[in-house]
Structure 1
Amino acid sequence: MSTVSPHSGTPKIELIGVKKAFGPKKVLDGVDLSVAKGESFVIIGGSGTGKSVMLKSILGLLRPDAGTIKVDGEETTHIGGRARDRVMTKFGMLFQGGALFDSLPVWQNVAFGLIQGQGMKRSQARDIAIEKLAAVGLGPDVANLSPAELSGGMQKRVGLARAIATTPEIIFFDEPTTGLDPIMADVINDLIVKCVRDLGATALTITHDMASARKISDRIGMLYQGKLIWQGPTSAIDDSGNAYVEQFIHGRAEGPIQMQVKLG
């Protein structure tokens, strides 16, 4: 991926002391994170550790209880209206389940942000959709199909094409390989690397798939009990010296992370 330093210039995304609770449950408990322009950062962690809540907070779908979130140095925690819309134009998103609209053909799914968000003419948006489908290895024959006619891997590719259609500066990937077999997952990982590089975009991914995390990231951070307990270059993940990270990346039942499992 990129060779950018995480400390060069104004961070593309910055979280400072971000906290979020739902009732008595602390989901984010003082998250600090800095992602440089052009960097691909992956957050790993088990289910229920706050990864999705962190992503939704950056997107503005949830408001933190405390702390600051900045995009390009601009504080975004409390903005709304046109200011929020302006920040949102910088974002692209690949949703976990694809989140395609069943009622729209593939090309309209890909072009949704262009037509609805930018008011682009449908003919021009369709041309861009065909171009973006080609970028993820899908031919123009797919454009008029409905999402229901596609395999899971093809749906994920269409979701990726939609994520890059508006040429975003920042792309979020929510569990991009969930539900895919190992070979298709690797194909998607390769496409993510290619698309992010071709756009020169900044990427933030949440996943529990270590093969994916290793392949698409410059740096990795582990979220556990609402805190980023370790972060560093991808090449250092196997020598983290952190027992929680060691247990997670090797998928061991024994270790400091105790799963709540009822037997019998």
Structure 2
Amino acid sequence: MAETPKIELRNICKSFGKKVILDNLNISVAKGESLVVIGGSGTGKSVMLKCILGLLKPESGQILIDGEDITNASGHRREQVLRKTGMLFQYAALFDSLTVWENVAFGLIQAHGMKRGPAKEIAIQKLSLVGLGADLADKRPAELSIGMQKRVGLARAIAAEPEIIFFDEPTTGLDPIMGDVIDTLIRDCTQDLGATTLTISHDMESAQKIADRIALLYKGNVVWAGPATDINTCGDPYVEQFVHGDVDGPIKVDILKP
């Protein structure tokens, strides 16, 4: 008997007015797997993630976590399910008014009811896992570089040792060296946790470094999915066009002309 997917989307549809964003989208992520969903701007990656998190509600379809349909779950039940998740936002999304350690420990204190003392100890431990020293714990996010802020965001994402971690464009805004550092930290930290991860990205190099499997999204649906090791040799015309950045191919780019 096949194992129940950790995350599963079944025939998800989402539109804004007449514009269809997700069109019967089907995606599944196995327990402990790292899936990276790639695709250009406007292909539905962010909308998909927002639907999973409950920030948007699809018109139809099912979203299942550990086999439980949470599509129409109550706010309380959804909150309970989301406690097993962590999230690294595109630009880290740190709270400027909080110190670094308070940012990392935010979920531990607010969602899990942990006292500040033990929460700070865990925060400093997680900071060390992403290569940041305890001397940074009482600094403000504005005092850190973008790369450091991203690492603080990663420490926050893993602070509660979640079963599922979502990554929203984790290398956006970083230079290639720091991007590689973040990719390595993501891979190492999530493997140590045994977490299931779902990443949305347009960065092919990053995707290949952190993914077990890659899915290419176009016009709200998966046009190719397979092992990350196959992406350069699969011969799929959608993948080839995306990987090489060609204008000509099955992926049509809408360009507004003056």
Short-chain TM bin: over 0.9
Superposed CA deviations along residues 68-103 of structure 1, whole A, max 9, x for unmatched, are 110000000000132111101111000001100001
Runs (5+) with no aligned partner, structure 1: 1-6
* Number of equivalent positions: 258
Give the whole-Å Cα distance in 1 for the aligned partners of 2:249 and 2:148: 38
The normalised TM-score by structure 1 is 0.95
CA shift for structure 1 position 242:
2.0
Corresponding residue number in structure 1 for 2:18:
24
The residue identity in structure 2 corresponding to 1:161 is A
Corresponding residue number in structure 1 for 2:247:
253
Residue 206 of structure 1 pairs with residue 200 of structure 2? yes
Residue 15 of structure 1 pairs with residue 9 of structure 2? yes
User: What's the C-alpha RMSD, in Å, of the aligned pairs?
Assistant: 1.2
CA shift for structure 1 position 8:
4.5
| Contact 2:224–2:238 under 8 Å retained in 1 | no
User: What SS is found at the alignment partner of 2:224?
Assistant: strand
Alignment match of 2:169 (pick from 145, 166, 175): 175
User: What SS is found at the alignment partner of 1:238?
Assistant: coil
Corresponding residue number in structure 1 for 2:101:
107
Corresponding residue number in structure 2 for 1:44:
38
Runs (5+) with no aligned partner, structure 2: none
Residue 227 of structure 1 pairs with residue 241 of structure 2? no
Corresponding residue number in structure 2 for 1:3:
none
- 76-85 or 19-28: which moved more? 76-85
Corresponding residue number in structure 2 for 1:64:
58
Give the whole-Å Cα distance in 2 for the aligned partners of 1:31 and 1:38: 22
Give the whole-Å Cα distance in 1 for the aligned partners of 2:9 and 2:235: 24
Alignment match of 2:145 (pick from 146, 151, 155): 151
- 55-64 or 173-182: which moved more? 55-64
Alignment match of 2:86 (pick from 92, 95, 99): 92
The normalised TM-score by structure 2 is 0.97
| Contact 2:36–2:215 under 8 Å retained in 1 | yes
Instruction: Report 1:124-139 matches (<5 A).
Output: 124-139=118-133
CA shift for structure 1 position 252:
1.7
Give the whole-Å Cα distance in 1 for the aligned partners of 2:254 and 2:3: 43
| Contact 1:8–1:36 under 8 Å retained in 2 | no
Shift of the 262–30 alpha-carbon distance from structure 1 to 2, 3 Å rule, reads closer
The residue identity in structure 1 corresponding to 2:41 is S
The residue identity in structure 2 corresponding to 1:15 is L
CA shift for structure 1 position 196:
0.5
Give the whole-Å Cα distance in 2 for the aligned partners of 1:52 and 1:263: 26
| Contact 2:92–2:150 under 8 Å retained in 1 | yes
Identical residues among aligned pairs (%): 63
| Contact 1:243–1:255 under 8 Å retained in 2 | yes
